[in-house]
């Protein structure tokens, strides 16, 4: 498998889908919105974009399965699995806000081997493949070197369907508010992770995420020199709904704070 060549082909798919998503934004109205839950929305744009991505990826790798947000295709223990979020940040998109993104990752067995995140508003393509560095628009990116909380900027997201740990979540936020340069909540986990990879943020944590939200972003972050675990320090971040990500320099201190409150 030539992961590098495959990665460039996936970028073309992400870019094409991003153009479709961008072009449909001003056409959306309230009647097009379906409510999964109060804070989880979907439109024909999400569904059409996912179909476009899945069909294109099937041509690239017919033997692969899929873990996709809108359920266009499924996985059945294939050797290769695509993780697809056609529009990460749908609520931002519907309100005319950035960021929102296309997120695509590939796993071979249990190992992620490719990740592409296209942030549509800023026209930024983040990507990497097994054995390669991480890039943003053809420029190599690396995580920040800051190691102390007082020098860092943190990203997070808010749970929208599982509120069992809200009090602990707020407790962690309180400590981070008091000990860092600040916390940002942008609304696209895939983009947040890529911003950590690029050194814009130092760390990211969130609760109640899905595999398609984080697979590509985490892979890109790891290739850029970052580290990811679940809240207890384990490796169940892909399907476990808990994620702690940071630069290698800051991870020990950041993980300690998150684990204290949420582990």
Could you list the residues known to form a binding site for Mg(2+), using ranges.
69, 85, 87-88, 213
In terms of phi and psi (left: phi > 0; alpha: psi -120 to 50; beta: otherwise), the region of 117 is beta
- Look at residues 148, 155, 127 and name the one whose alpha carbon lies nearest to residue 219: 127
The answer to whether 80 and 110 have CB atoms below 8 angstroms apart is no
Q: Would you say 129 and 235 are in contact if contact means Cβ atoms under 8 Å apart?
A: no
Sign for the CA dihedral angle at 92, 96, 98, 102 comes to: positive
**Residue 176 to residue 97: CA distance in whole angstroms:** 25
Distance of CA 158 to the CA centre of its chain: 14
Cα separation values, 155 from 18, 105, 192, Å = 24, 21, 6
Rounded distance between C-alpha atoms, residue 201 and residue 116, angstroms? 19
Q: Which of 60, 46, 85 is nearest to 9 (CA)?
A: 60
- Rounded Cα gap, residues 70 and 199, in angstroms: 31
Residues that constitute the known binding site? 69, 85, 87-88, 213
User: Tokens 């069909």 identify what position?
Assistant: 55
Tokens 């508003």, residue?
Answer: 121
């Amino acid at each position: 498998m030539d992961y590098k060549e495959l990665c460039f082909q996936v970028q073309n798919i992400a870019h094409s889908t991003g153009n479709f998503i961008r072009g449909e934004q001003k056409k959306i109205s309230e009647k097009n919105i379906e409510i999964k839950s109060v804070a989880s929305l979907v439109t024909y744009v999400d569904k059409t974009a996912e179909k476009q991505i899945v069909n294109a990826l099937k041509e690239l790798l017919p033997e692969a399965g899929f873990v996709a947000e809108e359920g266009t295709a499924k996985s059945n223990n294939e050797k290769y699995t695509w993780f697809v979020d056609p529009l990460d940040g749908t609520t931002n998109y519907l309100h005319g806000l950035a960021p929102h993104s296309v997120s695509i990752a590939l796993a071979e067995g249990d190992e992620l081997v490719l990740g592409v995140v296209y942030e549509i508003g800023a026209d930024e393509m983040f990507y990497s493949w097994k054995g390669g560095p991480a890039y943003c628009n053809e420029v190599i990116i690396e995580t920040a070197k800051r190691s102390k909380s007082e020098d860092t900027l943190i990203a997070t997201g808010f749970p929208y369907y599982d509120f069992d740990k809200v009090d602990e979540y707020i407790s962690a936020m309180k400590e981070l508010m008091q000990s860092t340069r600040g916390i940002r909540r942008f609304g696209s986990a895939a983009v947040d992770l890529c911003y950590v990879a690029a050194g814009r943020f130092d760390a990211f944590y969130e609760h109640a995420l899905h595999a398609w939200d984080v697979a590509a972003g985490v892979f890109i972050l790891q290739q850029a020199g970052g580290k990811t675990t679940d809240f207890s320090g384990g490796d169940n971040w892909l399907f476990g709904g808990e994620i702690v990500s940071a630069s290698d320099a800051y991870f020990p201190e950041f993980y300690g704070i998150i684990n204290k409150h949420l582990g």
